[in-house]
Amino acid sequence: MRFPEEAETVSKLVLEAADEILSIYGTDFDVMEKSKGDPLTQADLRANEIIANGIRELLQDPVYSEEESTFSPKTKASRVWILDPIDGTREFVAKNPEFAISLGLVENGKLDFGIVMNPVTGEFFWGRAGIGSGYVILETPYKDRKINWDDRSKFLEDAKPEDPNQILVSVSETRDKLFQNIHYGERFVLKAKGSIAYKLALVAVGKFPMTLSLRPKNDWDVAGGIAILRASGGLDLEIKSGKEYPFLSSKLGIGLIAGKKEIVQEFWKEFQNSMQSSVRERW
């Protein structure tokens, strides 16, 4: 990756898409369904159009997006951008501001760069392998803002989490009582929040120590957030395998635990068996 030139290029697309999402968020928009319980809105489609088409036009790179079927993870490509134009569409539909744009770059088989942005709060997270991550709260209109790529840190190596006891988990997994067999005692408190991309980004910049999910994940759900987390010095594990989360493998990742390295290792050592027996291989 040519950094920061290509980071600047894709960030402009993300910021433009965030403006578009926010303009639709404040209206009485229509809701479609890709499948039962899987909503789709004009905001998803417009954000995808802006970012995916922009990357293909400006960088000549393939894009693996939730809202398209033009790319297969089996395709051999040295660089692939992995996009979810809105991770957390259910929250978007409910007018709950816990959703985010997620964009990650896999280059030569390795996750190299990621952006996550919450269009409602203005939170912009980014990370690049080997150099660290950045976090800034922007004001609208976002397309007029520039990111300072020199303002970065390895948050999970440099500081303690702001709230060291709260583990971020899924709203739907909490509602469906997926965590009831994990007896985590008084050391940890589970806090439900929407969008795995947003949760990963918050953890990556030290707002919370860890996030946990027991359901399958697509690459586009987590590529941006895991890129930022790894750049911050964090650790992520697919729960089923106990290994670093794989990308472009043609298989769903089954469960995810990610956060500050020492806390993830402690939690894994204590609760590995109960987590692996609780993961769901289907939604």
Query: For residues 138 and 145, is the Cβ–Cβ distance under 8 A?
Result: yes
Is the Cα torsion angle 249, 254, 257, 261 positive or negative in sign? negative
The pLDDT of 206-235, averaged and rounded, is 96
Q: Is 176 annotated as a binding residue?
A: no
User: Quick check: 184 pLDDT over 90?
Assistant: no
Q: Residue 283's pLDDT band (boundaries 50, 70, 90)?
A: low
Q: Is 33 annotated as a binding residue?
A: no
Q: Is 30 annotated as a binding residue?
A: no
What pLDDT was estimated at residue 84?
A: 97
Report the distance separating Cα 198 and Cα 139, nearest Å: 18
Report the distance separating Cα 241 and Cα 246, nearest Å: 10
Map out the domains of the chain as residue ranges. Answer: 5-154, 157-278
Q: Is 87 annotated as a binding residue?
A: yes
What pLDDT was estimated at residue 217?
A: 94
Contacts of 202 (CB under 8 A, 6+ apart): 168, 193, 208, 211
What is the architecture, at CATH level 2, of domain 5-154? 2-Layer Sandwich (3.30)
Residue range 157-278 forms a domain whose CATH class is: alpha beta
pLDDT, tens digit (0-9, with 9 covering 90-100), for 227-255: 999 999 999 999 999 999 999 987 789 99
Q: Residue 183's pLDDT band (boundaries 50, 70, 90)?
A: confident
Query: For residues 140 and 22, is the Cβ–Cβ distance under 8 A?
Result: yes
Mean pLDDT of the chain: 93
Q: Residue 35's pLDDT band (boundaries 50, 70, 90)?
A: confident
Helix (H, G, I), strand (E, B) or coil at 200: helix
Chain-centroid distance, C-alpha 254:
16
User: Quick check: 71 pLDDT over 70?
Assistant: yes
- Ordered alpha helix ranges (H), the chain: 5-25, 42-59, 89-93, 155-158, 171-175, 196-204, 219-231, 261-278
Is this prediction's pTM over 0.85?
yes
pLDDT, tens digit (0-9, with 9 covering 90-100), for 258-274: 999 999 999 999 999 98
Cis bond upstream, residue 141 (ω within 30): yes
AA identity, residue 32: M
pLDDT, tens digit (0-9, with 9 covering 90-100), for 130-177: 999 999 999 999 999 999 999 999 999 876 777 778 899 999 999 989
What pLDDT was estimated at residue 186?
A: 74
Q: Is 263 annotated as a binding residue?
A: no
Q: Residue 282's pLDDT band (boundaries 50, 70, 90)?
A: confident
Percent over 70 (pLDDT), the chain: 98
